[in-house]
Amino acid sequence: MILSSLWPHQCFLCGAAHEASAALCPRCWSALPPPARPACPRCGEASPLAGECRCCRQLEPVFDETVAAFAYRYPVDVLVRRLKYGGALQLAPLLASGLSQALAGREMPDLLVAMPLSPRRWRRRGYNQAHEIARRVAVHCGRPLEPALERLRDTPAQAGLTAVRRRDNLIGAFRCRSPVAGLRVALVDDVMTSGATLDAAARALKAAGACRVSAWVVARTPAPEF
């Protein structure tokens, strides 16, 4: 009883008791895999000279930059999946704090937008993990979080498609419903894989007049085909 009040927190990964209120102990927290360095400034993919990568030069995604807190590898993949599918909402502050730290020294946008879920998926899950992260990052940045994007339909299965087909698959999946003309927007999501979904959402924001869209993600996976 006394011990549990002195050491009330158990690390989500290793189970060690620790003092801080975070979901991970300091040792597990500091061992989380960093994102690729040097990276393509546009998509966050590893790029030897930190210049725009070949995929971005070919496919020209409309988002202007990517900030990733971690590489999507163990144990970050476990944490993200547990938050997304396992209802482990206690992980949202931790992942949001990783993303907030990755933003140090960056120019802040005018507003943040969380990657929306389709109404069907939102009803089934009961929460949107991107929103749970974005609202905490918004507090850290001192900028508003706006529900500016609407997801009209789920993303169809993308695996095995070429980058161009993937992009075509997502046309019309998002609609912007807030005035964003002339504004700099940070689009927050948990993971960037191919970048096609973030690109489609960024297109909707740019079509509504957003002047700059940054992709802020907790984790980035390697994306050879994007």
- Binding residues (CB under 5 A) for Zn ion: these are 11, 13-14, 16, 25, 28, 40, 42-43, 45, 53, 56
Q: Which one, of 22, 25, 3, 5, lies nearest residue 14 by Cα?
A: 25
Looking at the Cβ atoms of 182 and 224, the one nearer to Zn ion is 224
CB of 55 to Zn ion, least distance (A): 5
Looking at the Cβ atoms of 151 and 220, the one nearer to Zn ion is 220
CB of 29 to Zn ion, least distance (A): 8
**Hey, what are 157's tokens?**
């299965």
Looking at the Cβ atoms of 180 and 215, the one nearer to Zn ion is 215
Alpha carbon distance 175, 187 (integer Å): 14
Looking at the Cβ atoms of 43 and 208, the one nearer to Zn ion is 43
- Classify each residue of 171-198 as buried b or exposed e, where b means 16 or more C-beta atoms within 10 Å of its C-beta: eebbebeeebeebbbbbbbbbbbbbbbb
**Site of tokens 């390697």:** 222
CB of 97 to Zn ion, least distance (A): 15
CB of 16 to Zn ion, least distance (A): 5
